[in-house]
């Protein structure tokens, strides 16, 4: 059974803290994505990666960075968390193209106080 695993389901952090959200997929997929999901705003793409050590900005990259040192792992980093980054974060992967079926993790709900 294919799986995308996000390291934390729930996190509570303080303003200014550095936050790491980890995502691992076991499907040998080339493409990985980070989205944030907010009520009324849908899924918004933060960053994506087509290959190891490669990254591309999505629609809302400000305040975030990513790391992809290994094919199966894609990390989202908040260098200095702010309250407006309180959200649900979803990681996804896809096989061959950036428009193929997306397999999502269960999400990480981050609250920044």
Partner 1 sequence: TQLLEQSPQFLSIQEGENLTVYCNSSSVFSSLQWYRQEPGEGPVLLVTVVTGGEVKKLKRLTFQFGDARKDSSLHITAAQPGDTGLYLCAGDGGNTPLVFGKGTRLSVIA
Q: How many CB atoms lie within 10 A of CB 9?
A: 10
Q: Which is nearer to partner 1, 12 or 41 (CB)?
A: 41
Give min distance, CB of 56 to partner 1, in A. 9
Question: Given candidates 30, 33, 55, 81, which one binds partner 1 under the rule CB under 8 A?
Answer: 33
For partner 1, the closer of residues 14 and 54 by Cβ is 54
CA nearest to 71, candidates 35, 26, 7? 26
The stretch among 11-19, 60-68, 73-81, 98-106 that binds partner 1 (CB under 8 A) is 98-106
Please tell me whether residue 93 binds partner 1 under the rule CB under 8 A. Answer: no
Q: Is 60 in the site for partner 1 (CB under 8 A)?
A: no
Q: What secondary structure letter does DSSP report for 75?
A: E
Can residue 63 be called a binding residue for partner 1 (CB under 8 A)? no
Beta strand segments in the chain, E: 4-6, 10-13, 19-21, 23-25, 31-38, 42-49, 56-57, 65-70, 73-78, 87-94, 103-104, 108-112
Do the Cβ atoms of 24 and 32 come closer than 8 Å? Answer: no
User: Which residues would be at the binding site for partner 1 (CB under 8 A)?
Assistant: 4, 33, 40-43, 45, 48, 58, 90, 92, 98-99, 101-102, 104-107
């Amino acid at each position: 059974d294919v799986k995308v695993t996000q390291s934390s389901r729930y996190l509570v952090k303080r303003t200014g803290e550095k936050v790491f959200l980890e995502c691992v997929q076991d499907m040998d997929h080339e493409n990985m994505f980070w989205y944030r999901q907010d009520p009324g705003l849908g899924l918004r793409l933060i960053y994506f990666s087509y290959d190891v050590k490669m990254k591309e900005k999505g629609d809302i990259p400000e305040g975030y960075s990513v790391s992809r040192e290994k094919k199966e792992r894609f990390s989202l980093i908040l260098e200095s968390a702010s309250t407006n980054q309180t959200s649900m974060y979803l990681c996804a992967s896809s096989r061959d193209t950036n428009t193929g079926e997306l397999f999502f993790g269960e999400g990480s709900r981050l609250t920044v106080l």
